[in-house]
Amino acid sequence: MTQLGKKQGKGKGGPKTPEGKARALANLKPFREKRDQHGVTVINPGQPEVQAVSQQIKDLLAGDNISHLRPADEVALELAAVAIRKVMQAEEYIAQHGLVNDQGKLRPVVEMQLKAIETAAKLLDRLGLSPASRAKLGLTQGRAAGLAEALAELEARKAEVTDIGPEANL
């Protein structure tokens, strides 16, 4: 007879002791390493690359004389920068390894990239950072510079920093 409130047919709920929990986490390590090899899942708001994207967006807005963002919008702006950085990281991985794996299946990072693009677009739109959302908010000041242009400039700067040229024999 089963006790009321207990789930039937389920496991015991995992390890109970600290040693058992440590073993369970150690068993997950190879899976985490494989999952994180593309770098998309380990992007966080505090990282310098994310801060650079966030600053790029702020600079773009300042150059357009758009001042509708408030300090309370910083969190949403930071989340948008994380999403944009994830898109960029996924693109780098896909450029190196291709869209499909050795079995001819689409790599999981492609779906992550699509989700990050969708998230970034939604956040940027909510912040009034698209022509349509600015018009909806009644913000028509400044020129409507594209975020894609700004990201391309960021990528170009990154390439300049990382490209040491063929004449540098190391």
Mean pLDDT on 105-127: 90
Name the CA dihedral angle for 93, 79, 156, 64, rounded to a multiple of 10 degrees: 160
> Cβ(81)–Cβ(45) under 8 Å?
yes
What pLDDT score was predicted for residue 144? 43
What pLDDT score was predicted for residue 136? 78
> Can you give the three-state secondary structure of 90-104, one letter per residue?
HHHHHHHHCCECCCC
- Provide the percentage of residues in the chain whose pLDDT is more than 70: 66
Looking at this protein, which amino acid is placed at residue 33? Answer: E
77-113 per-position pLDDT tens digit: 899 999 999 999 899 989 998 888 889 999 888 999 9
Choose among 116, 109, 68, 111: nearest CA to 92: 109
41-84 per-position pLDDT tens digit: 778 788 888 899 988 888 877 766 666 777 888 888 899 999 99
What pLDDT score was predicted for residue 170? 42
**Per-residue pLDDT band at 118 (split at 50, 70, 90):** very high
What are the Cα distances from residue 96, in Å, to 93, 117, 124, 164?
A: 5, 19, 28, 19
What pLDDT score was predicted for residue 143? 43
Distance of CA 103 to the CA centre of its chain: 26
Choose among 111, 124, 45: nearest CA to 82: 45
Look at phi and psi of residue 169 and say left if phi exceeds 0, alpha if psi is from -120 to 50, else beta.
beta
What are the Cα distances from residue 114, in Å, to 68, 78, 90?
A: 28, 19, 9
Looking at this protein, which amino acid is placed at residue 74? Answer: E
